[in-house]
Chains A and B, each alone.
Chain A
Amino acid sequence: MRPASEIIPLLWKEIRLEWRQRHTFNSLLLYMVSTIWVVYLSFNLQLSQLSPITWNTLYWIILLFAAINSIGKSFIQEREGQMLYYYTLHSPVGLIFAKIIYNALLLLLLAFLGLFFYTILMGLPVQDVSLFGLNVALGCVGFATTLTMVAGIAAKTQNSSTLMAVLGFPVILPMLLMLLKVSKNALDGLDWSASSDELLTLTAINLIVISFSYFLFPYLWRS
């Protein structure tokens, strides 16, 4: 097995596919921006201000929904025959890792663009920006690893978009709670040592999920 030489062309394929279908990325971005806009108008924020806890929670919930929508399509947008073609050429490990890396990159882009708009409309009550940024990055990688596998499972069913949410939410919840806790610490500007436990646990969960994807995807891919 030559993982690197396999993952890179697959990753490149995903990126080019996305570039040729720019409308899907644009629609995701618009989805985020309009959600943020809805939140802004609904909370009537020209007159009032969000409390930091609400700010934090809303950002993560918006990001979670964007992630579920963007990753949910990662096994559906290509036709059945095309998938079969990749399966004859590549190993399952290369395929799932390329998808995970690609989804992580996509989410990172979405998260930081979203954060930009979110900041413009709702301010940035974050005291420790670097910790917050690191946390967002870890969160994107975590969402990507977990939800890519869930998307692979959901894609095998008839009503995959509903199942994506049903299967994904409970699995992602522990990670989300961790992320919320760390980003609350970043908002309050607490010392990094206060969040080290959570950061470690997040990394550990990520590693667990990646290794389980590595073992389980081969059983999923050709069925």
Chain B
Amino acid sequence: MRLASWKIATLFLLIYTLVAGFLGEVPRLPIINESIRNLYFHVPMWFGMILILLVSVVYSVLYLRKPQENYDLYAVESANVGILFGILGLITGMVWAQFTWGTFWHGDPKQNASAIALLIYLAYTVLRGSIEDEQQRAKISAVYNIFAFATLIPLLFILPRLTDSMHPGNGGNPGFNSYDLDSRMRMIFYPAVIGWTLLGWWMVTLRVRLRKLSIFWLEKQTENQFAVKKEA
């Protein structure tokens, strides 16, 4: 089995994240304690989600410019992986919130905004499910994808800054940069972000290949059926 170099890099980054993330030295802070290690898992999920959703939007734009099935496959699978990352980010965040803030669902603006973001992309999958024609589906869902992303950006970046949030860097809370995220943590955090995002992209490529195979298989099958009919 030959693996492309970026896949090997992904594996190394993630192994490094797991080993160094659980064994490495972290600052001792009250309340957060050892749960600060969740930084390597919770935050990269959001970075990964945004980046992979951005990829999805880019492929939607490409599809509108030049309608090729390939672009549509990448757009939908990136959106699916983005949803997966979003759900994982929400779960890791909820567990973290339970042990530091005291409740699973804190009603924090960022928590709410991410739940809305998930709703948007779940609506995207529902929209795809309700259109029969393949080209129509690709085109219309591409339009919704771009439109929704455009309204999602103000939601994710402006809204949490207008109201108080318990997240670092919001509502008077000091950001990670000031004291939490010291240089040792940075050494693990940035590789973690890159590693998880690359893993997401790997999943996208695999899912796209699976889809292409199933399309190919379907075509082969119908061809065979025709051939059998001709012989008969």
Contacts and interface: CB of A to CB of B under 8 A. Distances in A.
A50 interface: no
A34 B150 CA distance: 35
Given A146-B151, A204-B154, A208-B154, A170 B120 contact: yes
A173 B155 contact: yes
Interface in A152-186: 153, 156-159, 163, 166-167, 169-171, 173-175, 177-178, 181
Contact of B155 (A158, A174, A197, A223): A174
Contacts, number: 85
Given A166-B123, A216-B146, A223 B139 contact: yes
B150 A209 contact: yes
Given A174-B154, A223-B139, A216 B130 contact: no
A205 B151 contact: yes
A201 B113 CA distance: 16
A223 B120 CA distance: 23
A25 interface: no
A174 B159 contact: yes
A85 interface: no
A28 to B, nearest CB: 24
Given A167-B123, A208-B151, A157 B143 contact: no
A171 B120 contact: yes
Interface in B153-169: 154-155, 158-159, 162
Contacts of A198: 162
A167 B144 contact: yes
B155 to A, nearest CB: 4
Contacts of A212: 146-147, 150
Nearest to B153: A208
B147 A166 contact: no
Contacts of A223: 135-136, 139-140
B123 A201 contact: no
Nearest to B162: A197
A149 interface: yes
B150 A157 contact: no
B131 interface: yes
B20 interface: no
Contacts of B215: none
Contact of A153 (B116, B119, B127, B154): B127
Contacts of B130: 157-159, 163
Nearest to A217: B143
A41 interface: no
9 contacts: A146-B151, A153-B127, A167-B126, A167-B144, A170-B116, A171-B148, A173-B116, A201-B154, A212-B150
Name the 6 nearest CB pairs between A and B, nearest first.
Answer: A170-B119, A174-B155, A170-B120, A157-B130, A212-B150, A166-B123
Interface of B: 64, 113, 116-117, 119-120, 123, 126-127, 130-132, 135-136, 139-140, 142-144, 146-148, 150-151, 154-155, 158-159, 162
